[in-house]
Chain A
Amino acid sequence: MREVAIIGAGSTKFGELWEKSFRDISVEAGLRAIGDAGISGEEIDALYGGNMSAGRFIEQEHIGALIADYAGLTGLHIPATRVEAACASGALALHLAVLSVASGWYDFVIAAGVEKMTDVDSDIADDLLASSVDREWEAICGATLPSLFAQMARAHMERYHTTSEQMAKVAAKNHANAIHNPYAQFRRAISAEAVLNSPLVADPLHMLDCSSIADGAAAVVLCAADKAKAYTDSPVYVKASAQASDTISLHDRRDVTAMDATIFASKKAYQTASLEPSQIDVAEVHDSYTIAEILAIEDLGFFNKGEGGIATGEGQTEIGGRIAINPSGGLKACGHPLGATGIRQAVEITQQLRGEAGKRQVPNAEVGLTHNIGGTGGTAIVHIFTS
């Protein structure tokens, strides 16, 4: 297997992009990544696009070909593949793109993620989120996506004494980070008190514990590491790309306060990269709900099980803390256009490891990690990168 590097990265702004279509944002992100890499369209061998539900959000399937077409790549007839793993679709596109370059099959590949969520009303979008869990035996019985994370939060609070204040701190920290991220949906501070005073969505989760519905797209350009220096002085190397699955239903899990898919994927990733959790400088983790970040930082091995809330409360996950978690603002403040998120995380880590993250730069960041899950953790995908 060959080593793989990221040589270009780009993203649209995330948010309610009413004036822009699915095609507009897909092409905008792709062109930014290609421009950043300084390669020409003729050099691209293949495209992988992560997207959860264009069929229901914009009534359009076959979006692999659509994106390649509107990106101006039709004349080259490159293979263009759409992949889906619910909210982890973006990281899945990256995983498959990495495998295709590592195997030697392709030399230059684009991994993109896109979701256009605001062309349907928010009730439909909320219902679509529930198609990432077990429709037949969770959603039909009344489960919404936040109601399942709320049950994880309840169990974590009762077993480990995690508090609503600690969960609110996740949202406050991520919003503070996003102030310095020009691509984030919400670039303003919110206090932990504001989170606690926002309406309950599913007890104990409040509205401001939840990530938002948004439009957005992001893309990275990958190539074989030995070719990377011809395009950039600061390639970012993909040291590990690991994917794991678990039961689709939350109630069938071994433990509702842990995500085994995250534990398995991260163990495999650390093993591949020959790195320990303590060697990670910066991580973009899947904070679709505040409790999800607390579970993630435990399951990824950054903190002991049950201590994620305490660590958050103590500021250990802030930029400048023991490990910087979600310097971009995370899903909470960047917005969560489902299929785009996994790639947006990789774009952020690329900028962090290049030292180009401006006021949200994590000092001396050399090793970064991304963590993207689908549904309540039926899929987890972990990537590790180095400068």
Chain B
Amino acid sequence: MDLTVLGLNSVWIMLSFILVLLMQGGFILLEAGSTRMKNAGHVAGKTIFTVGLCTLVYWAVGYGISFGGGGNGFMGLDTFMFDPGFANEDGSTLPPTIFFVFQLAFAAIALTIAWGGFAERAKLGAYFLFTLAFISVIYPVIAHWIWSGDGWLFNHGAQDFAGSSVVHLTGACAALAATILLKPRIGKFTNGKANEIFGHNQVYTALGVLLLWVGWFGFNAGSTLGVGEGFLGYVAFTTQLGAAGGAVAALIISWIFMGKADITTMLNGALAGLVAITASCAFVEPWAAVVIGLVAGILVYASTKMFEKLGIDDPIYALSVHGMAGIWGTLANGLFATPELAERAATGGAGLFYGGGFHQLGIQALSVVSVAGYAIVASFIVLIIIKAVIGLRVTEEEEIIGLDLSEHGVYGYPEQMKNASNSSV
């Protein structure tokens, strides 16, 4: 192995890992900003805690199931308690340690997306137990299907470059199961009509989105797993176009239908554009990246309204941003993948609009159905067990006083609370 190439690959993927890990900061700001201040400390703290727990579980079990051997299309069966040693002994283009941490960061992102369905009312214990299950037998199984050379969807030619379905749809499906079982937050619906529960800091939310957007260059461009001929630049390029399309389309659509340019919708649009382009960033032409982003921006608005109509509480829009846009992004690959880029990735083929017929689109649809089906069913089973054993939701009183106090005994904004109690004296 050429040491220069190995070194460059290592630096780039290590940097990508750092960027993807920093996306957790984006999620903290996004979730804290989109929810009420009485839960802010909890949101931040539980994110860091679950990233820690996720690391241990992924190292012990999850990585082996995702990328372990055994020739099994469903799940890997070795490489548990991963111990790669110091050196790059097998002569691969990337040290396994770096590959591990990079993949770990993806697992943590999927987990954090799932927390969107838990927001503002789940017990801390539920986060703990769900992390154990999600990182050992839910996310890694799906990652194996699509990203492992043994995976059955991989071998059918499924194309998901950086995880529109593997990471985002999986996380969103877990969030869906959680939010259905937890039921809506107190006050979200009255007589079947949705009320707006405002987040406490829109600047946090916007900064969260920006941090995620920046981190996405590690997420997508890092998924090249090497510097190669600089193809990572092209991936970053389409990623940026997709995000831009999402932000612009969502703002316009909110202006058309709400009469105001809604900031939350626009932020969701940017994220939806990023989620949607994730599967296709290495497969499509620039114009298609823009179209994928634009459609995602429109879709996220419609989807938000749909979930509200269905009486499903989606506190930080995980179902729309990661779920619906994840589905769209995965399917879009079957429409817009070009033959040259598909050949380069050497997994599937060209999309419908590039002479591939319905073949690739069908495989992408199969991916969506399989991923969503497995993630929802598995998450439901796990959450029902957790519900039976320790319960999922805090009490009504605890929810009203907020999770900062009920779960941790301190407020995220202690001085603010002190001022409030002084002024009421």
Q: A and B, one complex?
A: no
A contact set with B: CB distance below 8 Å: none
